[in-house]
Structure 1
Amino acid sequence: MSEEDQIEEMMTRVRKLELKARRLVRESFSGEYLSSFRGQGLDFDDFREYAHGDEVRFIDWNVTARMNVPYVRKFREERELSVVMAVDVSGSADFGSKHLSKRELSAEIAAVLGFSALQNGDQVGLLIFAGEPVMFIPPAKGTRHLLRMIREILMAKPAQKGTSIEGACDFLIKSLRRKALVFMISDFHAESLDKPLGKLARKHETVALRVSDPLEEELPKAGRVVMVDPETGFETLVNTGNSNLRMGYKKLMRRQAEGIASVFKKHGIDSAKLQTDRDALPDLHAMLKRRGRRRK
């Protein structure tokens, strides 16, 4: 396939993804997004007479002196957010045994969240990362801006195939001057998670969306197969017909998933597990509803 044909095919995929994401936002996502994520501060609105139960710290003493009765400052929530999608495009992101690869699922989720953010007046930005930060697109508004982000997620070809959550977190901490909402979209198969995610969550509101494929969690009974690590290129011959090996692998993957979840919980990071073999939206919905209930 020529480079021109590849670009045309990619643009067709982006256009289809745009239509799907817009439909999902229109049908169900916009309201939940609005109720789950708040603005980053308060703007002064007006004055009103003090009422029992008002906080004393909001009394405006200059107005109170002029009116001879206590007056308090009213505020309205600043709705606009800076939303940043931090998307993992490492070697393992291109794996998918069912309907989508993990990278394609990440692009779909980024599109849905991105259109939800734009519809609510928020700015959206993107960090693509693998073994190192690959590309950063600062937060801005506009459909063309978001479509460029989706295209870059699908087309990125990182030089380093590994996964560095630490590098991504450090980059965001240094680059984002205002407090932002960060969606970290990755399989989180990385050596260092605890300290980097903790530092990021202390500075920015952080949500972890863990993309996963069923074959990563449980080996099929397929006899002897050569398994290749997509990030290092290391090959090993595995006898998947061995039931003890399959059971040991399943336990290992379960312990790894529990370890990742414990890091999220430790740092108060909301999370959702999204799988390539099923509709990811119900799990995303459930996470947004949990956030919305806590806010209320």
Structure 2
Amino acid sequence: MNQALKKIVIKTKKQVFSEIIGNNSTKLKGEGYDFCELKEYEYGEDVKNIDWIISAKMQKPYVKVFHAQKELNVNIVCLLNGSTYFGTDVFKQEIITEVATALGFICVKQGNPFSSFIANEKLEICTKKSKQIFNVNFMAEQLYNYNVIGKNIDYEKITKELFKFIKEKSLIFLIGDFFDIEKLDLKLLCQKHEVIVLIVRDKFEERPIELGNVSFIDPSNNKIFDSILNENSILEYEKKVLQNDHKLFNHLQNCTVKFTKIYTNENPIKKLLGVLR
């Protein structure tokens, strides 16, 4: 493990184990200790959960419902393509690695098993189901050193493969920059699992500055092209980004998917904690 990656792992581990509070708290309803709500009693439910005071007031039996205290299957899916090989200060691939590592440490701390995947033109298993810190370190190393040059995202293929591969009801984290999302469709995946989307971007990608004549290399296909970054070209580009994100956000909201955007100049752990709470 090189020094840059070692710093990411140590910093992330320290933040997770010092800032994350609680253990095995999930959104699933079931037997537990964290009160969720009151509901009218239905035949077959455990009578020990009846709230007798409320039931007496309402003249009908009501039971307490609790958040489940049990293992949650977590799947961390990192969308690593050529466009993640970019960043004005820190590459997006590095931030994706840091976010995935934080999720791995959270799983270890809460005793939840996690699996991890690398996705682009196909879905690859990065680490198999585990609760061990060793697997978090191994995942981080695989993600950090993965060669993204020349890779593109096939959203349609990877969502179908995830649906077939993940049998048990799970919490799935999709981490990527989510550009060119015309074929992104999470409806089927969301019917079976809970999905959280973490969008990793660089500020320059959304609001570039005027640079005049420039020469670009597209890391998704290694093609070189010349362009002019002036006011008109920037406005046209920003319009396309806004259209992409408008379509993305509408789709995520329609699928009831929680999501957040993490920029390369932000503290990714704080943004991650915000969407998990």
TM-score by length of 1: 0.78
Aligned to 1:66: none
Give the Å deviation of 1:192. 4.0
1:164 positional shift: 1.7
Residue 152 of structure 2: SS of its match in structure 1? coil
Distance 1:158 1:211, change over 3 A: closer
Say whether 1:271 aligns with 2:259.
Answer: yes
Give the deviation of 1:102 after TM superposition: 0.8
Query: Using a 3 Å threshold, how does the CA distance of structure 1 residues 224 and 76 change in structure 2: closer, same or farther?
Result: closer
Post-superposition shift, 1:59?
5.5
SS at match of 2:10: helix
CA–CA distance in 2 between the matches of 1:58 and 1:13?
54
Secondary structure (helix, strand or coil) at the match of 1:137 reads strand
Q: Corresponding residue for 1:16? A: 7
Alignment partner, residue 56 of structure 1: 43
* Matched residue SS, 1:161: coil
* Counterpart-to-counterpart distance in 2, 1:180 and 1:146: 18
Residue in structure 1 matched with residue 226 of structure 2 by the alignment: 237
State the AA in 1 paired with 2:99: I
Aligned pair 1:29/2:17, yes or no? no
What is the number of equivalent residue pairs in this alignment?
A: 258
Could you tell me whether the CA contact under 8 Å between 1:131 and 1:160 is conserved in 2?
no
Check if 1:170 corresponds to 2:172. Answer: no
Give the structure-2-normalised TM-score.
0.83
Report the equivalent of 1:260: 248
Q: Is the 8 A contact 1:207 1:271 kept in 2?
A: yes
How many angstroms does 1:76 deviate by? 8.0
The separation in 2 between residues aligned to 1:135 and 1:160, in whole angstroms, is: 19
8 Å contact from structure 2 (residues 24, 111) kept in 1: no
Give the equivalent residue in structure 1 for 2:101.
Answer: 111
The partner residue of 1:179 within 157, 169, 181 is: 169
Mapping 1:183-194, distance limit 5 Å: 183-194=173-184
* Separation of aligned partners in 1, 2:244 and 2:254: 15
Structure with larger Rg: 1
Is residue 204 of structure 2 the alignment partner of residue 215 of structure 1? Answer: yes
Q: d(CA) in 1 for partners of 2:149 and 2:88?
A: 24
Aligned residue number for residue 82 of structure 1: 73
**2:276 paired with 1:285:** no
Q: Which residue of 2 aligns with 1:247?
A: 235
Q: Which structure shows the higher helix fraction?
A: 1
Counterparts of 1:200 and 1:178, CA distance in 2: 12
Segments of structure 2 that go 5 or more residues without pairing to the other structure are 33-38, 48-62
- Residue number among 114, 119, 123 corresponding to 2:113 in the alignment: 123
- Distance (whole Å) between structure 2 residues aligned to residue 167 and residue 261 of structure 1: 21
Identity %: 23
